[in-house]
Structure 1
């Protein structure tokens, strides 16, 4: 893995992409994807339309950086877990941490996330971006879980747990977005995700008997 720090140009590009992604997510959440144009997203983000299309092929693609950053934040928290913490316990703790709003900014982030998923119900292209980001995150999550579990862990079980954790978050957010009033219970996504994770990992044997000392 290349550990070279990003250049100033790369950081500026990433910042611009993220600002466009935030604008797209807000507009989609408020009005639905069909009612929003790339030109409107560019205007909201304060960039030229040609800049928008330099970074994104479609208006739906524009939300991917924001979703990717969120998934990356979760993996970083998980990777920072204490060595003695069991991987499944660490997953539960970090899921609660990332899905539980603790500030107005967190509530706003949850609002646009759930609104974005509601908008995706009527937009296959937006659904594709959501599932693509989840698939990419699952692949990267395997490495984090494997590192936390250590060399004695069963590689197949590591893969199952990474898949279960990714799906637990995805399904919990989708179910919360489908509620009649998604923001009436901000704790719903975390509660559903923990429930899903426990059910999906029930019976998964991460270590062979007596393999971990």
Structure 2
């Protein structure tokens, strides 16, 4: 996700693998949201995804890990927006704008509602919570790499770490709170609104 590294386009075979992995992720997420993780098996996910169980295990070691591509989509979009911006460390208003863009789920209402159901399902499944927290931790690490690439020689590494932690934390808190409140996808209480409010509270003293 470096801002300075060239973009490598995936091959057709790689795109097909990505599509298969996302199809499995959406199926697993839907089943977990509808029935809870305990009632869903890897065999069921594979069957409803239209793949063999052996194929399922090529893409995920456990049924909980199968949802990772869906949950990681927002973080990937957010990192791409930040990396494509001005070639310097973004200001807080610029980060707020990037958050609003990445958390505006136009055209993907089903994925958004499925994500809400997954957040609810995490209450009863430590393994699913582990996947969620790992994705958020990796998003923070990847954001720090992007910010480091964008930083000038006078930038304080500690400030960059704080900015990455505040940004990633704001998004995680916002999505969890939105799911808990059963709030709408847009407007007050939506993920974008809550994330901007959280970032202002967490990063107000960082100085960017």
* Residues 149, 198 of structure 1: alpha-carbon distance in 2 compared, 3 angstrom cutoff: farther
The answer for the alignment partner of 1:198 in structure 2 is 200
Count of aligned pairs: 202
CA-based RMSD: 2.2
Q: Give the TM-score taking structure 1 as reference length.
A: 0.85
The answer for the alignment partner of 1:62 in structure 2 is 66
- Give the whole-Å Cα distance in 1 for the aligned partners of 2:183 and 2:18: 30
- Give the whole-Å Cα distance in 2 for the aligned partners of 1:26 and 1:148: 38
Q: Give the TM-score taking structure 2 as reference length.
A: 0.87
Contact 2:170 2:195 in 1 (8 A): yes
The answer for the alignment partner of 2:30 in structure 1 is 26
* Residues 86, 43 of structure 1: alpha-carbon distance in 2 compared, 3 angstrom cutoff: same
Contact 1:87 1:145 in 2 (8 A): no
Unaligned runs of 5+ in 2: none
Contact 2:27 2:45 in 1 (8 A): yes
Q: Secondary structure at the match of 1:178?
A: helix
Q: What is the correspondence of 1:95-134 to structure 2 with a 5 Å cutoff? A: 95-102=99-106, 105-134=107-136
Contact 1:146 1:158 in 2 (8 A): yes
The answer for the alignment partner of 1:76 in structure 2 is 80
Contact 1:87 1:149 in 2 (8 A): no
Once the two structures are superposed, residues 175-203 of structure 1 have per-residue CA deviations (whole angstroms, 9 ceiling, x without a partner) of: 11111xx1445332111111111111121
- Give the whole-Å Cα distance in 2 for the aligned partners of 1:101 and 1:2: 27
**162, 176, 197: which is aligned to 1:160?**
162
The answer for the alignment partner of 1:210 in structure 2 is none
- Give the whole-Å Cα distance in 2 for the aligned partners of 1:86 and 1:135: 20
